[in-house]
């Protein structure tokens, strides 16, 4: 479980195909001694399991295996050496819940339709995949590439979010341009509320 508050910016340093899997090595600023084998780390929104970790060249690197389902449902299929990733460690009891409840189970791939920069901020217009737009509500929460955001407005399958200067500087959202793909996870409560409505 996560909150959508990014705590580090990682970089892919190696990718090795292993049958239907891809083993991806990610360099980060976390202390290697604090990362246990089997730990969950959200990588641009996708919850992945650490299968190896070590210090290398003065920095920490950890390995994750990305399976076929993740490759099909997320932007991980497009990741290459040099790709920057938003990282977040899993929540611990007592941690501050600064964003919203995020599972790390990406629902699909959204598209950045337009970006307008002003006053060191950016207003992004996002198009949600078919079937997910109904879970996005004005003033509700959404996760894009692992970042917890508040929805400002909704029109059909498109919605707008405002990115403040801090978020632009510490996440990959500052690098995004119109046409880019983003991992999207809709709000957990919205999903369950819709399911309960359908069931009744």
Tell me the per-residue pLDDT of 85-125, one tens digit each, with 9 for 90 and over. 999 999 887 777 777 889 999 999 999 999 999 999 999 99
pLDDT of 195 strictly over 70: no
Domain extent listing, the chain:
8-89, 108-199
**Burial of 174 per CB tally in 10 Å (0-12, 13-18, 19+):** middle
Q: Which CATH number applies to 108-199?
A: 2.40.30.20
Instruction: Tell which wins on pLDDT, 199 or 63.
Output: 63
Q: What does CATH list as the number for 8-89? A: 2.40.30.20
Model pTM? 0.93
pLDDT tens, residue by residue, 23-34 = 999 999 999 999
Kind plus residue range of the DSSP H or E element containing 37: none
Q: Whole-angstrom Cα distance, residue 131 to residue 177?
A: 24
Q: Is 127:142 a contact under the CB 8 Å cutoff? A: no
Q: What pLDDT band is residue 132 in, cutting at 50, 70 and 90?
A: very high
Which residues are CB-neighbours of 16 under 8 A, at least 6 positions away? 22, 23, 25
pLDDT digits (tens, 9 = 90+) for 59-94: 999 999 999 999 999 999 999 999 999 999 998 877
Question: Which residue in 188, 45, 32, 174 sits closest to 117, CA to CA?
Answer: 174
Are the CB atoms for 89 and 1 separated by under 8 Å?
A: no
């Amino acid at each position: 479980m996560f909150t959508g508050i990014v705590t580090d910016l990682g970089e892919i340093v190696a990718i090795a195909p292993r049958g239907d899997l891809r083993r991806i090595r990610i360099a980060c600023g976390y202390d290697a001694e604090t990362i246990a084998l089997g730990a969950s780390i959200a990588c641009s929104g996708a919850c992945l399991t650490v299968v190896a970790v070590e210090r290398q060249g003065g920095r920490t690197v950890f390995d994750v295996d990305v399976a076929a389902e993740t490759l099909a449902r997320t932007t991980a299929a497009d990741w290459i050496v040099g790709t920057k990733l938003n990282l977040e460690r899993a929540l611990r009891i007592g941690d501050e819940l600064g964003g919203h409840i995020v599972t790390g189970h990406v629902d699909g791939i959204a598209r950045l339709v337009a970006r307008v920069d002003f006053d060191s901020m950016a207003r992004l217009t996002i198009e949600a995949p078919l079937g997910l737009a109904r879970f996005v509500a004005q003033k509700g929460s959404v996760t894009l590439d692992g970042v917890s955001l508040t929805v400002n407005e909704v029109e059909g399958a498109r919605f707008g979010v405002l990115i403040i200067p801090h978020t632009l500087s510490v996440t990959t959202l500052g690098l995004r341009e119109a046409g880019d793909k983003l991992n999207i996870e809709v709000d957990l409560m919205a999903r369950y509320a819709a399911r309960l409505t359908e069931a009744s």
